[in-house]
Chain A
Amino acid sequence: MNTNAWLPLLVLASSLVPGLVIFMLPEKAVAWRTALNLGGAVVKIILLVLMMIGVFHGVQYEFRLPLVPGIDFVLHADALALMFVNLSAVLWLATTIYAIGYLEDSPNRSRFFGYFSLCVTTTVGLAMAGNLLTFLVFYEALTLTTYPLVVHRGTEVARKAGRSYLAYTLFGGVLVLAGTIWLYSLTGTLEFVDRGFVAGFGIDPGVLRMIFALLILGVGVKAALVPLHGWLPQAMVAPAPVSALLHAVAVVKAGAFGIVRIVYDVFGIEFAASLGVTLPLAVLAAITIIYGSTRALFQDDLKRRLAFSTVSQVSYIALGVAIAGPIATIGGLVHLVHQGFMKITLFFCAGNYAETLGVHKVSQLAGVGRRMPWTTGAFTLAAFGMIGVPPMVGFVSKWYLGLGALEVGQGWVVLVLAGSSLLNAAYFLPILRTAWFDPPPDEWPRERDFGGKETAWMLLLPPLATVAAALAWGLFASMPGTPLDWVQFIAARKYGP
């Protein structure tokens, strides 16, 4: 086995080992914990950069270990996997810095950061899974590693949300398991292949449709497709870094990524379209987009509003995949990255409001822009991105999704995008107006003093960095090295000759 085979395992270990060590650290070992967290994140990013260069030049990175007879445990770093792993790694670094500041005086930090690292490890494993069984293993592991984070506060509400989260996601896992077993019994293989592997077996289309439904509904739980989204708003009781992780890095994205894998590398997009399963998926995604935005409109709790916004926004990815065309694929896949950066900024900002001023509700945000201008500036830019305003990255995603839909003659998708943008504006712009233009109250609910600064720098730096990236990648979207550039590289592989 050469170095190339070990690199995926090293990427996995760069968060797994720090996570396991952190569990054993005492609460007071702040410096060690910080060093391990940040060191692991930086090492992971360096390894990933090396692998991206390699993949761009055609190098194969694959680790294979026999798991059960006939099926291997496979970690395979293709271009699609690296896109998701990179997103997770970069945002893990940002979230770790944020979480260190956020949980400064909280109890059980070793437990928190231990599970935090494990959660990223499972996300990375899921992204690099080379077959459906490896995917399933990490998919379930992700559920188990995120549950302690959801219930971290230990309150009754948190435990209830945790139970709901477990019930939903384990049910999703069971569906994926059923689909996987059924598929294996018919094909004898589960290996992910560009353009899918199920087409050549002459299986009854009705059976394949059933398997597709099982798999998509299974991953659709984590992707929060309506009506399987109920766990997501409830999980908002978790601390802000966990919310950021759930929405932008790990769980929801894992579900969306699962949809991409199943459509492209299990069924193959052309074969899936010929089975007639992509249109129902597109319709389900469209319903989710509009439903999520409509529900977000009436939430006064800021994090719940953002949660319903995620329900809506993540389905753009499913929609882009289901439209079935190279340009829509670019739009859908690039939104995986773009939405991550915008949404994590919004959650960081929501966390800053809660941590600095004790503000949790939209109605309490009056004048917050004058008290916390940098945080609110970041929130404003990210919200504009969510609406799809240029030059933010959200515009780039919507542009390609719209163009892709028109390319394949699905004009109704453009109407869905327009309706969603309208609703996004309707639930984000009032927040901005309240924050910037309403007079502030005489006293904030629970204001903390940060020595004349608007908040702690560890809380301020991550949202500023993520929103700067979201702005730069939108403004210079056509430059080499941007997420759009990488996704065009992926789409060329999925659709090219």
Chain B
Amino acid sequence: MAILSKDEAQNILKKVIGFSKADECSASLNGRTRGNIRYARNTVSTAGSSDNVSLVVESRFGKRSGVATCNQFDDDTLRRCVQRAEEIAKLAPEDPEYMPLLGPQQYLTPNSFAQSTAKITPDFRAQAAGDSIAACQTRDLTAAGYLEDGATFTAIRNSKGLEAYQQATNIDFSVTVRTKDGKGSGYAVADFTDVSKFDAKALTKIAADKAAGSATAKALEPGKYTVILEPAALVSDEGLLNNLVYSFDAREADEGRNFLSKKGGGNKLGQKLFDERVTIYSDPLNPAAPGSVFDGEGLPVKRTAWVDKGVVKNLYYSRYWAQKSGQQPTAFSGNFIMEGGTQTTADLIKGTAKGILVTRLWYIRSVDPQTLLFTGLTRDGTFYIENGKIKHPVKNFRFNESPVIMLNNIEAIGKPVRLGGNLVPPLKIRDFTFTSLSDAV
């Protein structure tokens, strides 16, 4: 039930639109099946699965709008849901930012669904957890991990003739491995559209090696260091790069409350703000990290450059703000891709005379939105590099740094890998600011 085909979904939505007596009506169906397994202390702690389909109906009278939802799809329930949306709309205040519903749209053909992932079973999850635990037990290490997979679909239809449908799959895995004495800790994280690329043993080995290798950490003085930030240090845990891309909001910038606001008014669209090697774009059809081909309103998503050779190329314009400022609206595909070179993290280490390898940055929080300054800490594998080799593990640091400053201090960009649905290269950055030491392992 949870993953309806295009025809099944659109047939339900057609009925919904047919029941509408409002000026405008838009309906969307979202379904998902999900499964997960969690383990800690080398044993499985919880496992579960769920599936759900829900319908959201938005009815509009003039500039008044009401929303109702349901998760049963017989004619009576659908009719009641539409009526409720209409009743709520009639009572709602007028929306001064009202935009009419979109008409029919042309979409790219998505590549975001893999049958292999949709067919994952509880046994598969238990096997993955078992493999990960076994790989640690034999080395006298302790594993804690989480695997979650799912298939989803989204279908939209409205009274202006818009029709959209997309399916997607995803598998997310992360594992933290610790030494028995609690002095060493390592981490690995990965996500895929197609489960056939997933290897729990190989990922666990990375985390286990980092744990075993980080148990004798020495303290370095806080200060400015050349760092190699692995992809997990850039995007997992609401990372610095996500925070940068998610700040490309035209309205905030135009309102004067964003790092992209221009002194005196307006925004910094078209200005060179980063090193010329920095290029970041979104592409819903990227084969390694596919995204959505339409957004929540049904606006088509196309390949969009955010930063091109260091220049701010596009900002996110909602339909309302685009109309108000004479721009085209921007639809976001949910992913971003940072271009890079061919060097792996290991290659970057080889080319480093003195520096620090950072596996992961954690508890990342905004300190000053004016400069996009963030704070957070290194975690699960921080190492000192000398003459192209990892010399010894170092104690964790707290950092205070802005991705804007960071992307102006680039020494090298490595080969992008998929993480968090994005493509992200490891980065070698000079003068990265560590402000204090942490005793945490």
Are A and B subunits of one complex? no
